[in-house]
Amino acid sequence: MASTAKDAPALLRGLGLWDAILVTVGAVLGTGIFITTGDIARVLPHAGLILLVWVLGGLLTLFGALTYAELGGMFPKAGGQYHYLKEAYGPLAGFLFGWASFWVIMTGGIATLAVGFGEYLGAFVPFFSTQHRLFSLPIGSWTWSVNGGQLAGALCIAFLTAVNYLGLKEGALLQNAVTLVKIASILALGVFGLWTAAPVTPAFLAPAPAGGLLSALGVGMIAVIWSYDGWYGVTSLAGEMKRPERDIGRGLVIGTGVVTALYVITNLVYVRALPVEAMGTTGRIGEAAASALFGPWGARLITAAVLVSTFGCISATILYAARYYLPMAQDGLFFRSLATIHPRYLTPAACLVAQGLWAIAQTFTGTYEQLYTYVVFALFLAHAATGAAVIVLRRTRPEAKRPYRTWGYPLVPLVLVLVSLALLVNTVVEKPVQSLVGFVLVGLGVPAYLFWKKRN
């Protein structure tokens, strides 16, 4: 029965291990693997070290998955990090995470992906190109313009929001199907790329670049970690898992393992297809490598693969992100209208609609990239706080039921905390103005929290 004791509608527990794995993979695989290695090669021109940072990024992601798995088993309900932070540090901490997620982190991420989807769709349908301006509207000294890529992105968000609105199984089925296509396309690139005669013989054991090696490794690691971002999304779906105590942890670990394997294989293809110096000169390394290996048709196929990959990443993000706001509203700390579950479809319908509308608005205003950069530090802070939550709760609630206990405790969560704090410090140093603005944006959640707390 999908109902509470008072016969109010409740979320449907309809997801299994397979869904958990594919949501984890789908939430990570976006455009990063087809772009990021070129950025890394500019600061780290060494084939062996490029592969090393991707392996290290996968290892750190695995540490995060092992850490979150314990918390997911302890709190098997919708909301993920909202509950973990609330239970470890109090309701304000959980609220600030949810606040930043709704206004910027998740919706801004969806908007960013959606416009990227439009840009790649424009390669096949020029009307939806970001270069195709649909109209411009002067507003004082500022001109608001809308291009085809923004329109395509908005339509994509609207479609995927509607699918997820109509049911958990409908949303998960579409998400799983697209993720399988993504996995197949990346595997195909890997198999045929490694099978084809290599234009380049990579020097994996060549001497390391002189000067600033640690700094270059750090910059490369930041780019890699961004490409792995989204691995934690399935934890917010715990309230819809049939056996969350078992499947959340397994889904996280297996999913991150699959992603790491795909990323390493793909980068092996890249270093065999292009000289390291050439890798650093392209913004779309996936297409450049496919073109070098298979000719123009190969680059065209990679463009199609990126299009599908981006679509699937948007689908996964819309699916899991809407579950962050539901428990906030049910706790009386957010808009009351978002606390409802659809009586027929048993989905957080109001949260999905609100999230979709705000993401579409950011898509058309063009402010999503600026907003997203402002709260980059908030993501690292949330990961550090969540990693530390495992240690805090071990001390404050030693008697709590833990179906899974983090392997390698306390080293594994400590590594997650320390790496997240290092990236946080690096972000503040490299982008002090954006970090300050982000701090203010997150800080605005404090008076909002006090308002909702007093009201309820």
Q: Fill in the amino acid letter for 360.
A: I
Q: Which residue reads 């979150």 in tokens? A: 68
Positive or negative CA dihedral for 262, 268, 272, 275?
A: positive
Domains of the chain, earliest start first: 17-455 (1.20.1740.10)
Helix (H) or strand (E) holding 315: helix 296-330
Tally: H helices and E strands in the chain: 19, 2
Q: How sure is the predictor about 184, in pLDDT bands with cuts at 50, 70 and 90?
A: very high
Which positions ≥6 away from 46 have C-beta within 8 Å?
206, 208, 209, 276
Positive or negative CA dihedral for 163, 72, 183, 292?
A: positive
- Provide the greatest CA pair distance for the chain: 68
CA-wise closest residue to 282 among 45, 112, 36, 54: 36
pLDDT for res 17: 95
pLDDT for res 376: 74
> pTM for this structure?
0.90
pLDDT for res 4: 44
pLDDT in tens, 350-396: 999 999 999 999 998 876 666 667 777 788 888 999 999 999 999 99
User: Do residues 325 and 334 lie in contact, with contact meaning Cβ atoms separated by under 8 Å?
Assistant: yes
Across the range 199-210, mean pLDDT stands at 80
Rounded distance between C-alpha atoms, residue 242 and residue 250, angstroms: 13
CA-wise closest residue to 263 among 352, 189, 210: 189
